[in-house]
Amino acid sequence: MLEVTRLTKAFGGFVAVNEVSFSVTEGEILGLLGPNGSGKSTTFNCIAGMLKPTAGSVKLAGEEIAGQTADTACRKGIGRTFQIPRPFRGLSLLENAVLAAHYGNGGHLSHDEAEAIARDALTLAQLPPEADAMVGGLGAAGLKKLELARALATRPKLLLADESLGGLDATEMRQAADMLKRIRDERGITIVWVEHIMGVLLSVVDRVVVLDHGAVIFEGTPREAQQDEKVAEVYLGPPETRAA
Ligand SMILES: Nc1ncnc2c1ncn2[C@@H]1O[C@H](COP(=O)(O)OP(=O)(O)OP(=O)(O)O)[C@@H](O)[C@H]1O
């Protein structure tokens, strides 16, 4: 469904993403991992149309989408969440999701259609779909859920989830991971999930791609990732510096 080939993004002379290639099959959950600054968000932003790649190809269902704008990517079926949620705080949860539904569908929906999609997205994200539920009362976990609901309301085929666990406690992380799995299992939405921590992600994803310094250093199953020396080095440092 998604084919990223030799994707490269340079900022001036600095190459943040260097010939990154990976593919995602329909219905899969792929974990895109790597330490801070390894190029995960830049890769994401090139796929979602927030950044124009310097070189390389991004194909969605066989169609080249590299260099297209974010709204084109969204209308072609790529939904994304952001690391730092920025909802419209003066609006209700439902109004936030309705706006996302209109945006993701090119403004072609009637109000009733957009509202039905928005309520469904809020319910899927385990948020109250009632018209009077406001953003103000949400904590970190609630804001992450709203971020997810807004992305779901665009009716994506491919969901790019950016650091869905940031700022959550252990229980909330487990719930967030289970929610992404349920979204894939129940709706068949393909997911690329970016995190800098491995933790609970490994129990949910089908496959893992690990970036370091802008390049792919590992691709395989979660079990293989846990046993891979290069992955351990990136996360834990060289063997001689690790605690016994
Ligand atoms: N607009 C930009 N201009 C210059 N350098 C940038 C820009 N965006 C990102 N970078 C640099 O590119 C590198 C990769 O950044 P990126 O945000 O993609 O990493 P990341 O893996 O997502 O990190 P994190 O886990 O902290 O979000 C970093 O060194 C970062 O400083």
CA distance 102 to 123: 18
**Distant-in-sequence, close-in-space partners of 224: CB < 8 Å, separation ≥ 6:** 208, 218
| Same structural domain, 56 and 115 | no
Whether the predicted pLDDT of 178 surpasses 80: yes
Residue with structure tokens 């080249």? 64
Pocket residue to mutate for ligand 1, from 7, 40, 198, most atoms within 8 A of Cβ: 40
Q: Residue 60's pLDDT band (boundaries 50, 70, 90)? A: very high
Which amino acid is located at 199 in the chain? G
Residue-averaged pLDDT of the chain: 90
Whether the predicted pLDDT of 244 surpasses 60: no
More confident residue, 220 or 109: 220
- Provide the domain count of the chain: 2
Q: Whose CA is nearest to atom 8 of ligand 1?
A: 42
| Same structural domain, 201 and 173 | yes
Q: Which of 34, 31, 6 has its CA nearest to residue 21? A: 6
| Same structural domain, 179 and 244 | yes
User: Which of 74-78, 151-155, 199-203 is least confident?
Assistant: 199-203
* pLDDT attached to residue 68: 93
CA distance 146 to 140: 10
Percent of the chain topping pLDDT 90? 63
* pLDDT attached to residue 10: 97
C-alpha pair distances (Å), 205 with each of 3, 29, 82, 227: 18, 5, 19, 16
- Rounded to 10°, the helix 111-124/140-153 angle is 140
Q: What is the pLDDT of residues 73-104, one digit of tens each?
A: 988 999 988 878 788 888 889 999 999 999 88
Q: Check: CB of residue 54 under 8 Å from CB of residue 12.
A: no
Q: Give the 3-state secondary structure of 186-235.
A: HHCCEEEEEECCCHHHHHCCCEEEEEECCEEEEEECHHHHHHCHHHHHHH
Q: Domain boundary at 113, 130, 155, which?
A: 155
Q: Residue 140's pLDDT band (boundaries 50, 70, 90)? A: confident
Q: How far is the CA of 122 from the centre of ligand 1 (A)?
A: 31
CA distance 44 to 82: 10
- Give residue ranges with CB within 6 A of ligand 1: 11, 14, 16, 34, 36-42, 196
The minimum-distance atom of ligand 1 relative to the CA of 51 is 1
Q: How far is the CA of 106 from the centre of ligand 1 (A)?
A: 30
Q: Domain boundary at 155, 186, 212, which?
A: 155
Q: How far is the CA of 73 from the centre of ligand 1 (A)?
A: 21
Which CATH number goes with the domain that contains 1? 3.40.50.300
| Same structural domain, 136 and 232 | no
Residues 204-220, mean pLDDT to the nearest whole number: 95
| Same structural domain, 48 and 108 | no
More confident residue, 151 or 134: 151
* pLDDT attached to residue 238: 66
| Same structural domain, 16 and 70 | yes
pTM: 0.91
* pLDDT attached to residue 172: 86
Q: How far is the CA of 233 from the centre of ligand 1 (A)?
A: 20
CA distance 89 to 134: 8
**What DSSP designation does 135 have?**
G
Q: What is the pLDDT of residues 18-46, one digit of tens each?
A: 999 999 999 999 999 998 899 999 999 99
What are the structure tokens assigned to 239, written together?
């063997």
| Same structural domain, 142 and 200 | no
| Same structural domain, 236 and 197 | yes
| Same structural domain, 146 and 190 | no
Residue 105 burial by Cβ neighbours in a 10 Å radius (0-12, 13-18, 19+): middle
Residue with structure tokens 């001036």? 12
Report the b/e string of 109-129 with b at 16+ CB within 10 A: beeeebbebbbbbbebbebeb
Pocket residue to mutate for ligand 1, from 18, 20, 41, 82, most atoms within 8 A of Cβ: 41
- Domain span including residue 149: 83-155
Whether the predicted pLDDT of 219 surpasses 60: yes
| Same structural domain, 146 and 161 | no
* Share in percent of the chain as helix, strand, coil (round to 5): 40, 25, 35
CA distance 150 to 98: 8
| Same structural domain, 137 and 183 | no
Q: Whose CA is nearest to atom 11 of ligand 1?
A: 16
Q: Whose CA is nearest to atom 2 of ligand 1?
A: 11
Q: Domain boundary at 155, 185, 218, which?
A: 155
* pLDDT attached to residue 218: 95
| Same structural domain, 28 and 55 | yes
